[in-house]
Amino acid sequence: MTKYSSRYASSPEAVKKYDTQELRNEFLIDDLMQADEIVLTYSHYDRYVAGSAVPVNDLKLETIDPLKANYFLERREMGIINVGGSGSVVVEGTSYPLDFKDALYIGSGNKEVVFKSNDSKNPAKFYINSAPAHTSYPTVKVSLTEANKLQLGAMETANHRTVNQMIIGGVVTTCQLQMGMTELRPGSVWNTMPAHVHDRRMEVYFYLDIPENQAVCHFMGQPQETRHIWMNNHQAVISPPWSIHSGSGTSNYTFIWGMAGENLDYGDMDVCKINELR
């Protein structure tokens, strides 16, 4: 079964007036990881799709109406990271096993994609991102050990973290989609700090490894007009190009970042000075 919803773009001037529930309605994706369902959110920021597939039984990827396509990947590429039990993704008859935190890139033009779990009692939980694609590149699996790893931050500033670049130039060739996973060290709680904006790309964060009864406060908005959204495990949040995207947890945690837009330059960002945030 496939379910989807759409989110329209909001201007920064409009978002200044949103209350808590309006912010959550516009930017929080809180219906992911439903058993035996594919759940997708279609964002009008760069036509990005974020979603999940939890195959207790095999699940076949189907197109959705906003795409106006004969099949989902007719004009799109896709990135997948497994955050559950072991499983596999079958692409045009070729099976790609994915263990916990393994990633898969699927190029456009692939008609048949099927999600499978090795154990229905401990199903795979596939987190999905997708963006429009102008050409087709090969399907590639990237395990967590194969990621390009960056060590950033420090314990003294509570943001010591490992950035695992997985679906990104130098590791996988894509049209515009980029994905990776940032793991915070014990004792660190801040991600992506100092914060930044990149007006040429939108981004979606998906939070995981949040311990029970803990949470992450995600910060968004223009640097001088910030807002926050409290988030739980396996929830995602949409970040417009004009918005910062940063968070602080009540414990350490992991988040998956995915983005698309005008270019593939990972370092194309405008850093916001911490003491100038408002």
| 3-class DSSP state of 45 | coil
For residue 162, the model assigns a pLDDT of: 98
The confidence score (pLDDT) of residue 53 equals 98
Give the per-residue pLDDT at 135: 97
What token pair was written down for 269?
A: 């960002």
Task: Report whether the peptide linkage leading into residue 194 is cis, meaning its omega lies within 30 degrees of zero.
Answer: yes
CB atoms within 10 A of CB 68: 9
- pLDDT at residue 17 in the model: 96
Query: Which of helix, strand or coil describes residue 269?
Result: coil
Which residue from 121, 125, 188 is spatially nearest to 161, judged by alpha carbons? Answer: 188
Tell me, what amino acid is at 213?
A: N
Question: Is 134 labelled as part of a ligand binding site?
Answer: no
Which residue spans within 54-154 are E strands per DSSP?
59-60, 76-82, 87-91, 94-98, 103-106, 113-117, 126-132, 140-142, 148-152
Per-residue pLDDT for the chain (278 aa), expressed as one digit of tens each?
899 999 999 999 999 999 999 999 999 999 999 999 999 999 999 999 999 999 999 999 999 999 999 999 999 999 999 999 999 999 999 999 999 999 999 999 999 999 999 999 999 999 999 999 999 999 999 999 999 999 999 999 999 999 999 999 999 999 999 999 999 999 999 999 999 999 999 999 999 999 999 999 999 999 999 999 999 999 999 999 999 999 999 999 999 999 999 888 888 888 999 999 99
For residue 171, what pLDDT is reported?
A: 96
Which residue range(s) make up the domain with 264? Answer: 2-276
Number of structural domains the chain divides into:
1
Burial profile 157-192: b = 16 or more Cβ within 10 angstroms, e = fewer:
ebbbbbbbbbbbeebbebbbbbbbbbbbbeebbbbb
- In this prediction, residue 263 carries a pLDDT of 82
Flag whether 245 is marked binding.
Answer: yes
pLDDT value, residue 266: 84
**Does 160 carry a binding-site annotation?**
no
Residue 238 belongs to a domain with what CATH number? 2.60.120.10
Q: Say if residue 198 carries a ligand binding annotation.
A: yes
